Structure 1
Amino acid sequence: MKDIVRIGYLLILAATLLSCGQSEPDQTISPDTTSVDLILTNGKIITVDENFSIQNTVAVDGGRIVATGAESLLDKYQSELTVDLEGKTLMPGFIDSHTHIRGRPQRYIELSDVSSITEIQSLIRAKANELGEGEWVTGYGWSEDELIEGRRPIRQDLDEAAPNNPVTLTRAGGHSAVVSTLALTLAEITNSTPDPEGGVIERDQNGVATGIIRERQNIVGRLVPDSTYDELIASLEINLNALLSKGITSITDASKAPREYAMWEQLYETAALPLPRSAIQFQWFDPEAIAEVKSRVANGTDFLKIGPIKVFADGGFTGPAAYTLEPYVNQGDYRGYLNMPENDLIAHLNEIHDAGWQMGIHAIGDAAIVLVVNTLADALERNPREDHRHYLNHFSMRPPDLTMELMAEHDIHITQQPNFTYTLEGRYAANLDGWRLDHNNPLRSPMEHGVTVAISSDILPIGPMVGLYAAVTRKGMSGQVYGPDEIITIEEAIRAYTLTGAYLNFEEDVKGSLEPGKFADMIVLSDDILTIDPESIMDIEVEQTYINGKLVYKK
């Protein structure tokens, strides 16, 4: 299998050289030049160094950047593998500092591209026929904002497609799910079942369960049979490899159990396909298990390591269950939920901080953000830690200025998803209004307060171009602009999606920019991302992806 992949890699490389117009490799190396493994030249090379300098040529050797500069570098370095970029833009690979990648079982259906409930029903019906009666059908990725019916699917829609199969389909974002009547029955959930702590079993005006469960959908999901190791690791390899076509060369996977790390280790040791670099976040459910993995793997490898500890402070807007300072629009006094009682959350954060771990904390609502920042500031004043790099995932509502000032003072960072402004526009419009709606997923304001802000995807969608587009336009799917005072420049957005993402994982010295000594993780784009009309950013394609100077994807 690996021989086949190796042959495939050579064919890709040959096609790339041909498409770039490269002549036959020069077998003669001048004694006045230094031989390197790879040179890419005649391009617009965005280095993302301190000055955001633009260069023409990059030299790579041993998987790392040797030099970037003008075309005159060709007088200093020579390679048997020299690629003419023909004016194309080359930049560091994207670093998605908050995403979720997993292996999927046979029972799973992918819903991220569906456009109607009818299409969802067709997929359910086909999967049920494939598996047989009584087998669970699972799926992920639907969003009512992208369905032509303009509503969420409910249990009756699932029942119509597969009346004899329990079905649970998670909404994009992971904060709610729709389940079938049979699934509710198997979980012993009735119309009179009380809401689980921190979650909601939605009911219609007559008090009948609709099949929508917010934040605590595992009260049904726990019944789904475990997937086999072989099917999970095989699909995990495919799903990780697929990121390379989007220009993503590094990720932080934002929630895994310590027991899952061994599967990732095996995959990175045996994979036939090229994979991006990964850092894995654990939740603090089993500190002893985390300590065991840490003692065994230490700082990991160049491709796989343990990341920060993940903490969920509140829910999300797809529920909605984000914890807000003021009530949601037209929902009485409802302000969402904390993921655990406030005192427990405060103790949880302090325990992890005192144990010496970095934290990446899910905080979406402004009340959750205020509480988490206050708790971290108190912990840091009580027990100072140099260069802790705690950060907030999401930061979806703009908190009071005082909170951002506190973040800057205590070096509490953010990994933000501006793509939410685009893909979750309907959820924000339904639940927020006025100033709160305009300033969803703020970027400029925390930056101006001195807060370090990275950009990531949280798989809504995974492709970085949506996040870059929303960051520089602040447009939702409808075309409406939200809070233009939160717009950042394309240069700031690129840095946030590359070098700052590396910084959050203490890796800014080895990746995130094209500077000497760093990994040669690079992508070639179809268009000039710095000068293209912002309205066309989402049309930009990744044409080539390199990791360690090796071509791992070609369009």
Structure 2
Amino acid sequence: MTQIALLNGEVITVNSKNEVYEACLIEENKIAAVGTTEEIKKLITTSAKVIDLHGRSVLPGLIDAHMHLFLYGSTLMHLNCKDPAINSIEELLHKLAEIVEKTKNGQVIRVFGFNELMVQEQRYPTIQELDNLTQEHPIVITRTCGHIGMVNSAALQLAEIDSATPDPQGGTIEKDSNGKLTGRLIENAFLQFNQHVTYSDEELFNALTKAQEQLFAHGITSVHDAGGFDENSFRIMQIASNKKLIKTRIYAMIGSLNDCENFTKNMLTAGVITHTGNDFFKIGPAKLFTDGSSTGPTIATREPYTSDDNNYGYLMYSEEELYSIFSLAHQKGYQLTVHAQGDKAIEQYLNVIERLLNEYPREDHRHRVEHLGVCPPDLQEKAKALNVIPILNPSFPYEFGESYIRNYGERTHYMYAARDLLNHGIITAAGSDAPITTVNPFVGIYTAVTRLTREHTAFGQDQKVSLMDAIRMYTYNAAYASFDETAKGSIEVGKLADLVILNTSLLNCPMEEIPQVNVDLTMLDGEIVYANKSKIGV
């Protein structure tokens, strides 16, 4: 029997009492004991591997309850504008010119993480600037939110988009005052466009591998995948997990970034139900997009944006349309969820859930809502009454807080309203939405506790939570959101041995240093999958 003993540390169990112990023992792939160092020493055999923690923290394996595995992995393969060196359109075009020279004609050139507010020119590149670089390569620049894209003429031709192409519902193919295409595609226009620039199987496997490397380095052992590119990426994810090409535990939402509605309908027709699978790959909730991006800004709001009296954002469906799509799924036992950022979109979804539960009551449905951005008190109370699980993104205010204050004003006091939701007794989980923001969970934990942006601007301070509450959002509560709280999410006897050793004591770490906390070891299913060898000695 394989034993690993972790001694002389700070074992943050995240159990019902938030108990902290000195040590724990792993046998095979399960947690066998927790207690004092002396208690654990009495249980170990001579062949046990012993790791002296020297006061460092041990956490349950962290769970990112909302991220995009393929999209995140893709950003690690292509040009990413989150690189601080790309601080202007001029520099971006220079980098693209270098890539064009090395890229075969006809091959798609992809750029991720662009934010017009973070470049010197404070604008998007123009279609003319992109066309001047190449007429032979489709160029696709994805904005940091993932909901807006800037493309060149070759990319538009690939998707058969011209000035006569009508706007899709919930999207815009932008044109200038003369009716000419600008190359900017917004919301559904961009999401539908992406069906024409798909990835090869090799690229998809590579994206998963690169994503997993970063997840393990940040202590993340489980993810709730919020949608890949299409049916093929969903297939590749299952193959990779089944063949153990990736080991990350995946809860895969039934939804996609490209043509989400049809993908979801097709999957529901196939009859694969929520939570089908094993400890490494399970089917998650049926998912739809109901509104847009919080930074676009394109979210659907009850009142106009503070920055624009005429802008209420994009609503993707009528309430009746949303009910029609979700009705059968609810009746058949699926967990449901939506991307809903604005209060208008959140209200619409909660109305649908209320109607479904009234017509077809279900116990322990655990329907979710992804993001739950602008959520005022009346909608918080409704979410509580319906037992809906919010999946918040604590890192969003860290990166985008200043733009939220500009666009939504006083509504930021109840954006990603973790404190209010927890006070209502609502089990609330957290995710990064990577690559939209950093995959680093300690940035999210820091922001949940401080409610400070990267520029140290105060953001909805009433929504600050305790450090233990923030940790719970990334562990036990995230496990609950996928029906897995009896198997993982806390360090308790009999649970899976998914653990993380940090480089410091988290409970004694100065708050301002939490974003710089590093992982020394990540254990998944009793196996060490990442280790800083100089710190751990493995």
- The TM-score, its normalising length taken from structure 1, stands at 0.87
1:246 to partner: Cα distance:
1.0
1:106 to partner: Cα distance:
11
- The answer to whether the 8 Å contact 2:401/2:459 transfers is no
Shift in alpha-carbon separation, 1:292–1:346, aligned structure 2, 3 A: closer
Asked whether 1:447 is paired with 2:422, we answer yes
Cα distance between partner residues in 1 of 2:345 and 2:417: 15
What does residue 520 of structure 1 align with? 497
Alignment of 1:92-103 (within 5 A): 92-102=60-70
- The answer to whether the 8 Å contact 2:319/2:349 transfers is no
Cα distance between partner residues in 1 of 2:19 and 2:391: 24
Selected match of 1:294 from 272, 276, 279: 272
Structure 2 SS opposite 1:465: helix
1:52 maps to a residue whose letter is N
Shift in alpha-carbon separation, 1:429–1:405, aligned structure 2, 3 A: closer
Shift in alpha-carbon separation, 1:88–1:388, aligned structure 2, 3 A: same
Shift in alpha-carbon separation, 1:519–1:145, aligned structure 2, 3 A: farther
- The answer to whether the 8 Å contact 2:395/2:443 transfers is yes
Shift in alpha-carbon separation, 1:526–1:204, aligned structure 2, 3 A: farther
Shift in alpha-carbon separation, 1:154–1:466, aligned structure 2, 3 A: farther
Cα distance between partner residues in 2 of 1:298 and 1:537: 34
Alignment of 1:419-438 (within 5 A): 419-433=395-409, 435-438=410-413
- The answer to whether the 8 Å contact 1:365/1:396 transfers is yes
Shift in alpha-carbon separation, 1:370–1:288, aligned structure 2, 3 A: closer
What does residue 288 of structure 2 align with? 311
- The answer to whether the 8 Å contact 2:297/2:313 transfers is yes
The gaps in structure 1 that reach 5 residues or longer are: 1-34
Greater CA deviation, 486-495 or 438-447? 438-447
CA shift digits 1:188-216 (9 cap, x unpaired) = 54566553321123455666543222102
1:348 to partner: Cα distance:
1.9
1:417 to partner: Cα distance:
0.3
What does residue 37 of structure 1 align with? 3
CA shift digits 1:337-383 (9 cap, x unpaired) = 21123321122232321221001211100011111112211211221
1:533 to partner: Cα distance:
2.1
The gaps in structure 2 that reach 5 residues or longer are: 256-260, 533-538
Shift in alpha-carbon separation, 1:123–1:290, aligned structure 2, 3 A: farther
What does residue 536 of structure 2 align with? none
Shift in alpha-carbon separation, 1:288–1:346, aligned structure 2, 3 A: closer
Greater CA deviation, 130-139 or 100-109? 100-109
Cα distance between partner residues in 2 of 1:65 and 1:157: 57
1:71 to partner: Cα distance:
1.3
CA shift digits 1:488-543 (9 cap, x unpaired) = 11110000111100000000001001000111111111222222222211111111
1:122 to partner: Cα distance:
3.6
What does residue 17 of structure 2 align with? 51
Structure 1 SS opposite 2:506: coil
Structure 2 SS opposite 1:173: coil
Shift in alpha-carbon separation, 1:105–1:391, aligned structure 2, 3 A: closer
Larger Rg: 1
Alignment of 1:83-482 (within 5 A): 83-102=51-70, 104=74, 108-114=78-84, 115-116=86-87, 117-187=89-159, 189-190=161-162, 194-203=166-175, 209-215=181-187, 216-224=189-197, 226-256=198-228, 257=230, 259-271=232-244, 275-283=247-255, 285=262, 287=265, 289-290=267-268, 292=270, 294=272, 299-399=276-376, 401-433=377-409, 435-459=410-434, 460-482=437-459
Structure 2 SS opposite 1:509: coil
CA shift digits 1:442-491 (9 cap, x unpaired) = 11112222222111110112111221111111112221101111111111
- The answer to whether the 8 Å contact 1:166/1:180 transfers is yes
Shift in alpha-carbon separation, 1:197–1:465, aligned structure 2, 3 A: same
1:175 maps to a residue whose letter is H
1:265 maps to a residue whose letter is Q
Cα distance between partner residues in 2 of 1:204 and 1:58: 63
Cα distance between partner residues in 2 of 1:306 and 1:339: 24
Greater CA deviation, 374-383 or 183-192? 183-192
What does residue 502 of structure 1 align with? 479
Alignment of 1:2-21 (within 5 A): none
- The answer to whether the 8 Å contact 1:145/1:426 transfers is no
Asked whether 1:72 is paired with 2:44, we answer no
RMSD over aligned CA atoms reads 2.5
CA shift digits 1:149-201 (9 cap, x unpaired) = 44333334433443542211111221111112333355454566553321123
1:100 to partner: Cα distance:
0.1
Structure 1 SS opposite 2:125: coil
Q: What is the aligned length?
A: 516
Cα distance between partner residues in 1 of 2:147 and 2:378: 29
Shift in alpha-carbon separation, 1:195–1:426, aligned structure 2, 3 A: farther
What does residue 467 of structure 2 align with? 490
1:165 maps to a residue whose letter is H
Shift in alpha-carbon separation, 1:536–1:151, aligned structure 2, 3 A: farther
Greater CA deviation, 227-236 or 543-552? 227-236
Cα distance between partner residues in 2 of 1:358 and 1:123: 44
Cα distance between partner residues in 2 of 1:337 and 1:450: 31
- The answer to whether the 8 Å contact 2:306/2:407 transfers is yes
Shift in alpha-carbon separation, 1:369–1:264, aligned structure 2, 3 A: same
Structure 2 SS opposite 1:545: strand
What does residue 4 of structure 1 align with? none
Asked whether 1:63 is paired with 2:29, we answer yes
Structure 2 SS opposite 1:432: helix
Greater CA deviation, 202-211 or 530-539? 202-211
Structure 1 SS opposite 2:353: helix
1:437 to partner: Cα distance:
2.9
Shift in alpha-carbon separation, 1:142–1:527, aligned structure 2, 3 A: farther
Structure 1 SS opposite 2:390: strand
Shift in alpha-carbon separation, 1:289–1:365, aligned structure 2, 3 A: closer
1:236 maps to a residue whose letter is L
Structure 2 SS opposite 1:77: coil
User: What fraction of aligned residue pairs are identical, expressed as a percent?
Assistant: 31
Cα distance between partner residues in 2 of 1:219 and 1:262: 20
CA shift digits 1:84-139 (9 cap, x unpaired) = 11111111121011110116499943444353234432432233222233432123
